[in-house]
Structure 1
Amino acid sequence: FGSRRKPTSPRFLCGGFDDKCDERWGKIKPEIVMEVKTMVDMKSLGKTLSVLVIFAFAGTGDSWAATNSTLQVGFAKVDITPPIGTPMTGFGAHFSDKEGARKIHDPVEARALFFEHEGRQLLIVGMDLCFLSRDEADRFKGAIGRKLDLAPSQILLNASHNHTGPRCGTWFYLQPARKFLQMLEDKLVDVSVKASESKQPITMWAGETTTNLPVNRRLPNPETGEIDFAPNPKGSIYQYLPFVLFKNSKGEPVHVMFSIAAHPSNIKGVERSFHISADYPGVAARLVDKHLGRDGALFLQGAAGCAKCSIVPGKDQFPSGTWEEVEKAGEMVAEELIAALDDNLTCIDPTLFVRSIEMHWPMQPNIGKEGYQKVIENPETHSESIAEVKAVWAKDMLDRLESGYDLPTEVPITAQGIKFGPEFRIVAIEGEMVDALGHQIRDSYSSGITMPLGYSNGCQMYLPTSEMVDEGGYEVESYWEYRHPAPLAKGMEKILAETVKQLQNEGIE
């Protein structure tokens, strides 16, 4: 290399300074060293050895040189707790409430992981919020993307589905909390930038254990033939707890990304349901942070559509939980996760790849002008809902029709696939996905670990199964709370299967 400059950049090995040099450098494998050596004439052995030394430094799997082949990950968190008086969402009682949040029990946060590998970037943000509407998710992705030059498919926004948080989304015809939404946008951009600026070389280790937290909330009533909103210990749940452990160049655990599938709706129907809290995901994240000795836990909500927390006792109905029970729920999750961190985990060979597909789930025929008028006059609802709000919905649908507009016949739902390597992937769905659909996604992959997520990049509505459509129950009958004109039609399993297959064919393997 003469005396031009020290060979600190891999570009020198490419015979120039072309833009593709780093890409080629990242693909150098340790086994190439011997092959290169045999190809070089012994007269140039001195020069060859110089090259081989650099190859060995930057191309081996054990090296932590900052090349494009090294996975880099950054973490950050930000407090998104709103002021007292901010409107809340999660329970029907929030519909007519005029006072907003009365007290802050514990903070709500947004946590972010930023990934970069071989020029590809990815951002995952988890928020202690009930959900985002599609337009809010698009708004926040746009703000983050402009700052970090990321496309929407490179950003995953997941809400914990916390029911004691500030208002987001369009559920239940609640008016938006505009001041909070602006603060939230600013803070989501801030936490994303900080995560991108804190990148360091990382290895990823995937694992999966099980959790005892979820309990099914669809209890068949033999007397009425209906599905009651009540604990069903024999009902199906998504019991898996997938996770990824991140280690720095010293082999120290620094971050953990994990998912549970259970509603954080433990505080209900009492004064404390107007207290801001992150519920059990906040407790779990705090305890995992403590175990790591640093901030680094990221909770993501899974296929929790028909599951609540078993830690709150109940037989015929779910009682209003206590803060002590919320703490126990978070402790349960943290203990289950921490116990699995020392198991025989799978090292992920990083290959970042993202893909988003918009599904279209058909709805049943709507009830027409006469039907909506009848609902206005007699708004009967499920026991978990409020008749007054259903009347508002019927008036909305009727007004659209009388104004000359057609009502939609399908619900657009985004499926986002993220491949971290052949050993681990995420499939995130824009809705309140029930456990059976989470199992369907998981079972679609014959190897590796899959993390199915709901409440991601918006939340269009509850996503039940065809069997549930026949059975009824809150998950099926709540379509109008999300401003849709009719319930979903059966056949969603086939649509989901085709979508996952398309994701697989396009790289989410």
Structure 2
Amino acid sequence: MQVGLAVANITPERPLYLAGFGPDRLSEGTYHDLYATAAVFEDGGTRVCLMGLDILTVDDSLVVPVREAGERLGIPPQGMLLNTSHTHTGPVTERIRSPIRKFDEQYLDGLRDCLCRLVGEAVADLRPASLDYLVGSSTMGINRRVPFEGGCRPNDDRPIDPAVPVVRVLHPDGRVRAVIFSYACHPANNSGRLLGAEFPGFARDLVAEAIPGCTQMFLQGCGADVMARALDPLERTFRSASVAELAEFGHEVGRAACAAFCGQPRPLGEGVACASEIIHLPFDHQPTEEELRVAEAGPEYQQRWARAAREVLAERGALIAELPLEIQALRLGELYVVASAAETCVETGLRIKAELPDRPVMTLGYTNGSWDYVGPASVFTEGNYEGPLSHMDTIWPWPKPLGLVPDAEDVFVAKSVALARSVG
């Protein structure tokens, strides 16, 4: 096997609007630089690429040109995986889907070109390597779903995924060349106006300090309903964390990745493979008149959805019937990397792992996009943000009905597991 690595700083050089908390946050500085990291794996004539990005999400305006650049270098589109950390203190990076229509065309053009170059730099860096796998553990995150309360509140009675899976890229002499690690937690704990990588950036910093000279890549897991423990215990809610607290959250995850080194590594062996598929998850029902009226009396984002929904209903008679999203599977030796273009809830990621007990598995959300939340049926029946409320959050490229069918998670898990099995 050969592995090539490349890193680029993607921090904006001027104030830009921030993604994640609404349309009015123009950046006023930077608390942590943003990075893009690429790792290309080649074996037996097949190439795949993992890319970790310190941004909220991507859409086809970035995914398509990066995949085209990869294809020119021998990486098939289904082998190009763009995972975003989902930091809520990064710039707006979606031209097609973003609810914040204040993206900077010049920055996005530069970001596109940078990511395309990065793939080429990683290919040029290909050299012999081996991979092994370890797993650390962290309870930095806490579930944020409380039944029937709406919004997001801390709930220690619901699960998190404590796993911090680690893939080490090793030189032929056994020295660590790169550390690729993941954790399932929403980086949404700072609502200020400074650009930054949130906890994933600080996690990489700690790994870099502990293992000098290695490349570090963070990949966001299935933590759509998990947040860091920046809490107001008296109000039973989350609060905005200071930069120092963000650093501590990140350092906790970084320490967990480093602590994994104390275990017995599992050699991953040879071979790479890839597959992807667009699946379609049905929505439960078309908007009712009552749902439209409630939204029209709600916050601005709900009113915006109701207006757009009424326009489409008047023109076409119905909103879209199904949610299209990409699922993807890479195999790196024995490791399955199972990813999706969804904000995937933690229980869903845990289900996928449980269905693949015979192999090491890294489950990722926010990959090649984040078109909507996918989770257990309870997400859509208990009134949480991750259910119907989140479906109102963006009306681009089209407004959506309010909630998937109850068995959407079953379909999503079954198709993800089958795709993983298909790559060997």
TM over 0.5: yes
The structural deviation recorded for 1:405 is 6.6
**SS of residue in 2 equivalent to 1:398:** helix
Does the CA contact (< 8 Å) of 2:47 and 2:76 recur in 1? Answer: no
Partner of 2:103: 176
Cα pair distance change 1:85/1:505, threshold 3 Å: closer
Q: Does the alignment pair 1:479 with 2:391? A: yes
**SS of residue in 2 equivalent to 1:241:** strand
The letter for the 1-side match of 2:101 is: L
Partner of 1:87: 17
Partner of 1:314: 232
Partner of 1:205: 132
Does the CA contact (< 8 Å) of 1:157 and 1:456 recur in 2? Answer: yes
Give distance in 2, aligned partners of 1:451 and 1:172: 29
Identity rate of aligned residues, in percent?
Answer: 26
The structural deviation recorded for 1:344 is 0.5
The letter for the 2-side match of 1:245 is: R
Q: Does the alignment pair 1:250 with 2:173? A: yes
Q: Does the alignment pair 1:282 with 2:201? A: yes
Partner of 1:165: 90
The structural deviation recorded for 1:142 is 3.6
The letter for the 1-side match of 2:40 is: F
Output the aligned Cα RMSD: 1.9
Highest Rg: 1 or 2?
A: 1
**SS of residue in 2 equivalent to 1:179:** helix
Partner of 1:334: 254
The structural deviation recorded for 1:507 is 2.5
Give distance in 1, aligned partners of 2:344 and 2:330: 18
The structural deviation recorded for 1:505 is 4.5
Does the CA contact (< 8 Å) of 1:126 and 1:300 recur in 2? Answer: yes
Does the CA contact (< 8 Å) of 2:149 and 2:383 recur in 1? Answer: yes
Cα pair distance change 1:173/1:324, threshold 3 Å: closer
Please list, as runs of the form range in 1=range in 2, the aligned pairs for 1:97-176 lying within 5 A after superposition: 97=25, 100-133=26-59, 135-169=60-94, 170-176=97-103
Does the CA contact (< 8 Å) of 1:127 and 1:159 recur in 2? Answer: yes
Partner of 1:68: none
Cα pair distance change 1:327/1:501, threshold 3 Å: closer
The structural deviation recorded for 1:481 is 0.9
Structure 2: which 5+ runs fail to align?
none
The letter for the 2-side match of 1:336 is: A
Does the CA contact (< 8 Å) of 1:203 and 1:246 recur in 2? Answer: yes
Partner of 1:219: 146
Does the CA contact (< 8 Å) of 2:67 and 2:80 recur in 1? Answer: no
Structure 1: which 5+ runs fail to align?
1-70, 381-386
**SS of residue in 2 equivalent to 1:451:** strand
The structural deviation recorded for 1:325 is 0.4
The letter for the 2-side match of 1:313 is: L
Partner of 1:448: 359
Q: Does the alignment pair 1:302 with 2:221? A: yes
The structural deviation recorded for 1:444 is 0.8
Give distance in 2, aligned partners of 1:372 and 1:178: 36
Cα pair distance change 1:96/1:279, threshold 3 Å: closer
The structural deviation recorded for 1:137 is 4.3
**SS of residue in 2 equivalent to 1:417:** strand
Does the CA contact (< 8 Å) of 1:444 and 1:500 recur in 2? Answer: no
Partner of 1:402: 314
The structural deviation recorded for 1:242 is 1.0
The structural deviation recorded for 1:372 is 7.4
Partner of 2:119: 192
**SS of residue in 2 equivalent to 1:482:** coil
**SS of residue in 2 equivalent to 1:218:** coil
The structural deviation recorded for 1:156 is 0.2
Does the CA contact (< 8 Å) of 1:136 and 1:458 recur in 2? Answer: no
**SS of residue in 1 equivalent to 2:152:** strand
The letter for the 2-side match of 1:276 is: L
The letter for the 1-side match of 2:304 is: V
Partner of 2:409: 493
Does the CA contact (< 8 Å) of 2:3 and 2:128 recur in 1? Answer: yes
Does the CA contact (< 8 Å) of 1:393 and 1:480 recur in 2? Answer: yes
Cα pair distance change 1:175/1:147, threshold 3 Å: farther
